[in-house]
Structure 1
Amino acid sequence: GIEVPEAMGGAGATFFMSVLVVEELARVDASLAVLVDVQNTLVNNALLRWGTDDQKGRYLPKLASKWVGAYALSEAGSGSDAFALACRAVDKGDHYELTGRKLWITNAAEADLFIVMATIDPGKGYKGISSFLVVHDQEAVSHALSDPRREPVPSEPDPARRATRPRRSPAIRAAIGSAKGDAQ
């Protein structure tokens, strides 16, 4: 939690300091640098900038200490093109239901919290896309190996070989307060 405020268990540093930490880690271990980069510059930073006060209070202390975060954007048919997302979010009144499959998610194997990008209203273009916070322990969240021909190796020593995994879900529930963006 490099940028996470000290009151929430983080270092209270700046985004620039996050970049310096990642750069220095990369000199020694590129895999660890990627994990720290995603955790701090994508997940924690997004929550700090756009999360609600409730989300910040609920998740940032955990992300600053024991949780790992992941950012789920890429899909098989669209890669990292956010405007071509197939993952959908349907408003069910008290929650959103997310359906779809995400690929190449850094930190997926270890992640406790995912920021998942999904389309609420395809007719609104980029304004119909939103992000959702999905806690890993939900029943519908599943993952597979990035290379299905490989057997799982729980003690894989190289985080780069185990950190990027596809995620698929028949339907994930996300709380109404999880949505961000103009589409809500």
Structure 2
Amino acid sequence: MNLSPTEEQTALVDRFRLLGRDLGADLPARERTGTLQPGDWQRCADAGVLGLPVPRAYGGLGLNPLTCALALEGLGEGCRDNGLMIALGAHIWAAEIPLLLFGSEEQKNRYLPGLCDGRLIGAHAITEAGSGSDALSLTATARREGDHYVLDGAKRFVTNAPLADVVLVYATVNPALGFTGVTAFLVERGQAGLTVETRYEKAGLRTAPWGEITLSGCRVPLSARLGAEKQGSRVLAATMAWERSLILAPLLGAMGRQIDDCVQYARTREQFGRNIGKFQSVSHRIVEMRIRLDEARLLTHRAAWDLERDVASHYAEAAQLRTSESAVETFLDALQVYGGLGYTTDTDVERNLRDALGTRISSGTSDMQRLVIAEKLGLTTRARAASPRPAGARHAHAE
């Protein structure tokens, strides 16, 4: 595995880093109100961020997963709005990717160009009040009536829901079938029987809007079904492989920026007549921060490498687990380096820490990541396990 970036990849990373520095100018105010900046979203769309993995035939850049990871790390290094990065990731990995892997040509042509150029925003609705980590024990139902399905149920903690134009919804055609009855549907904003409301204020990632979705007699045509009936577990498994591998790539950049800030602060902050960076307790803490970042980056790149080759492995979960937990530890260490100043809102430290805490829950909690890895190592067997990634569902390259 060659980890040396090409000239083209380096240029893309530099371009995205510069783009990131132009985003989030009003971040403190928007974090207080929990709002996403539409102008920043559109600037990302215009730069190609929203279409990174989507083939050029559908309006994207057609880049491979490793290049996507590198580019998004650069964007995250430049941009201080971690909520925007998560909202972008939910849109790309949990809305565009399942469309790309399982959508019909009509569905791809209907949605992907708009999702890439910013005209449309996507969301992914799986979590329910009674099914979080056990996502496929959901109770939302899909009843077939002629050439339509009638959807009933409720989803919560749906990133991008308040802004979404199209939502990927999972429901079961027969609750008695368990996970084998789950089916995926594309439901558009304004569809009769679909309501969206915002109920929760979050501790962090506040600029990534959350919402609760209610489906009450929501009739959608057969053409709204994504993939075959009862194929929802396969759609979810493939989506999670991509999301867990790559959604936290921008957080690698945020960690790198925080480490650089800590190094600079430790070089200039004086106590007891010398710079605090000369105290072993401080310098060793920053060394550990750097090692954690290197570990998380290597796991992310390996997960991306496996995605490119359609190799089923534990690296997607390992990347999500190590990146999220390393971020929390790193920002806690940054708080110690900065002392009282880090506990104020005058620096990014406290916001980064609050944001990082949420990443240990999204895409499956840290405990769930460990459970999945243990299962893939042959140590455990869950009663309900998602089907493996479908054969042939590898990333499509643009010509």
Query: Residue 127 of structure 2: SS of its match in structure 1?
Result: coil
**CA contact under 8 A between 1:3 and 1:12: conserved in structure 2?**
yes
Quote the offset at 1:2 in angstroms. Answer: 1.4
Alignment partners' CA distance in 2, 1:135 and 1:48? 17
Q: How does 1:1-184 map to 2 (within 5 A)?
A: 1-27=51-77, 28=79, 29-65=81-117, 66-147=119-200, 160-161=206-207, 163-179=209-225, 180-183=227-230
Q: 1:64 to 1:162 in 2, by over 3 A?
A: closer
Q: 1:3 to 1:61 in 2, by over 3 A?
A: same
Q: 1:160 to 1:104 in 2, by over 3 A?
A: same
Q: Is 6-15 or 83-92 further displaced after alignment?
A: 6-15
Measured on the aligned residues, the alpha-carbon RMSD in Å equals 2.1
Alignment partners' CA distance in 2, 1:31 and 1:161? 5
Alignment partners' CA distance in 1, 2:52 and 2:175? 36
Counterpart AA for 1:168: T
List per-residue Cα deviations over 1:31-72 (Å, max 9, x = no partner): 111111111111111111011111111111111111110000
Alignment partners' CA distance in 2, 1:3 and 1:59? 15
Quote the offset at 1:21 in angstroms. Answer: 3.6
Alignment partners' CA distance in 2, 1:24 and 1:133? 32
Q: Is 164-173 or 103-112 further displaced after alignment?
A: 164-173
The structure that has the greater radius of gyration is: 2
**CA contact under 8 A between 2:127 and 2:155: conserved in structure 1?**
yes
Q: 1:162 to 1:15 in 2, by over 3 A?
A: closer
**CA contact under 8 A between 1:120 and 1:129: conserved in structure 2?**
yes
Quote the offset at 1:14 in angstroms. Answer: 2.1
**TM-score normalized with structure 1 length:** 0.86
How many residue pairs align between the two structures?
175
Identity across the alignment (%):
34
Alignment partners' CA distance in 1, 2:191 and 2:229? 26
Counterpart AA for 2:68: S
Counterpart AA for 1:91: R
**CA contact under 8 A between 1:88 and 1:99: conserved in structure 2?**
yes
Alignment partners' CA distance in 1, 2:205 and 2:221? 31
Query: Residue 160 of structure 1: SS of its match in structure 2?
Result: coil
Quote the offset at 1:182 in angstroms. Answer: 4.7
Alignment partners' CA distance in 2, 1:146 and 1:15? 34
Instruction: Give the equivalent residue in structure 1 for 2:264.
Output: none
**CA contact under 8 A between 1:88 and 1:100: conserved in structure 2?**
yes
Query: Residue 67 of structure 1: SS of its match in structure 2?
Result: coil
**CA contact under 8 A between 2:180 and 2:230: conserved in structure 1?**
yes
Counterpart AA for 2:162: A
Instruction: Give the equivalent residue in structure 2 for 1:154.
Output: none
**CA contact under 8 A between 1:104 and 1:146: conserved in structure 2?**
no
Alignment partners' CA distance in 2, 1:109 and 1:159? 15
Alignment partners' CA distance in 2, 1:100 and 1:77? 11
Quote the offset at 1:20 in angstroms. Answer: 3.1
Q: Is 30-39 or 16-25 further displaced after alignment?
A: 16-25
Q: 1:23 to 1:162 in 2, by over 3 A?
A: closer
Alignment partners' CA distance in 1, 2:124 and 2:195? 15
Query: Residue 90 of structure 1: SS of its match in structure 2?
Result: strand
Counterpart AA for 1:144: E
Quote the offset at 1:26 in angstroms. Answer: 3.3
Q: 1:36 to 1:18 in 2, by over 3 A?
A: farther
Alignment partners' CA distance in 1, 2:208 and 2:97? 24
Quote the offset at 1:163 in angstroms. Answer: 0.9
Quote the offset at 1:107 in angstroms. Answer: 0.6
Query: Residue 155 of structure 2: SS of its match in structure 1?
Result: strand
Alignment partners' CA distance in 2, 1:13 and 1:40? 13
